[in-house]
Amino acid sequence: MKLVGESLRSILSQPIASTVTGLIVAGVCATILSTTGQTVQAETQVLSRIDAAGTRSIIISDRDGTAGLHADAVDRLNRVSGIEWAFGLGPADDVRSVGNPGGNPAPIRVTYGTLPPQLTHTDADIGPDRALIGPMAQSTLGLQVPIGGVASDDSEYAVVAPFGAEDPLSFLNRSLIRRARPDETAMRSIHILANEPGQVPAVAEAAMLVLGPEDITGVSVQTSETLADVRAAVSGELGRFSRDLITLVLGAGLALTALNVYGSVNSRRRDLGRRRALGASRPTIVGLIALQTAIAATVGAAIGSLVTTTVFITALNDGVNLEFAAAIAVLAVLAATVAAIPPALIAAYRDPVRVLRVP
């Protein structure tokens, strides 16, 4: 605490040098956040668009209905590490509105397992004879409201509520969905979402082992490895640009801070020499100068980050990743503190007698 108090008094006794240090660090934070910070935002947006296209999705299909993909495998897949969710679909059957039997048909699909969060719906109870309807299917069947009756050649179903599907399941918006009957145990496709894009190949391999199809030649596996590779490439290029720019700006800030601290140390050489002559150790002198710089840098980093973030949010109607801004502020303070070490060592190892003899 005594060293902190001495550092604060040193800052007050040298307002210009301390202000310059704070301004340098504030400028470093503002420059990085206004350039690399926006690159990070752009990277996040681009990657989210790529992810929306299904970088984590896997589709295992029974092309001819002979592979033997059994419904009980869905529960086993949902317990596999690396899988966020898995659910199955049966074959499609065309249905028409009971009130318009000559109208356009829409497909109805059997589902196996818990409906994933990408399928938004009400709490309506569906079953083998009660179905949910997608928005495109409702338009195709000509239903004014998402409730009514539909029929295939040999079955009738009650439409009880709507649902909406997001990628990678948006294709289901053209369909109705219902639960399987006890005798409907063979799936035609199973849809899997991996936890991470990089896990897709391993998850696909594990899923095939769990499914254990009776006829492996009738199974096709469609993964998003290509999209995952694109995602990795985009992330790598933008990340490399960000790292290079951060290194350049931090290096410039470090050099300017070191020069400013060196000038401050030279102007205080008699004061520091007096402290050494009165018994202050070399580590104490180094700690005093480094702490003084760190305090000034912390104030500068807070101001620079706050002002830049406020400008982007209010004036430009854009955002800055707060975690990234905090990390840059901490990094800038550490860089400024490190920059103060060489001048501090020079001051600490000067001969106090020689320093005090200089008029």
Q: Which helix (H) or strand (E) holds 220?
A: strand 219-223
Tens digits of residue pLDDT in 109-124: 999 988 898 888 877 7
Q: d(Cα 40, Cα 324) in Å, to the nearest integer?
A: 8
Among 129, 132, 123, 117, residue whose Cα is nearest residue 163: 132
For residues 37 and 156, the model is more confident at 156
Q: What is the residue extent of each domain of the chain?
A: 2-49+231-357, 57-223
Q: Under a CB-based contact definition with an 8 Å cutoff, are residues 185 and 177 in contact? A: no
**How far is Cα 146 from Cα 175, in angstroms, rounded to an integer?**
12
What's the mean pLDDT in 235-245?
64
Which residues are CB-neighbours of 236 under 8 A, at least 6 positions away? Answer: none
Produce one character per residue of 117-145: b if its CB has 16 or more CB atoms within 10 Å, e if not.
ebbebeeeebeeeebbbbebbbebbebee
End-to-end alpha-carbon separation of the chain, Å?
A: 33
Of 305 and 96, the structure prediction assigns the larger pLDDT to: 96
Looking at every residue in the chain, the average pLDDT score rounds to 80
The per-residue pLDDT for range 161-190, each reduced to its tens digit, is 999 998 888 889 999 999 988 888 778 888
- Digit-coded pLDDT (tens) for 58-100: 888 887 777 778 888 888 898 888 899 998 998 889 999 998 8
Between 94-108, 112-126, 195-209, 305-319, the lowest mean confidence (pLDDT) is in 305-319
Is 45:154 a contact under the CB 8 Å cutoff? no
CA pair distance 341, 98, nearest whole angstrom = 83
Locate 184 and state its tokens. 């409907």
Percent of the chain with pLDDT over 70: 81
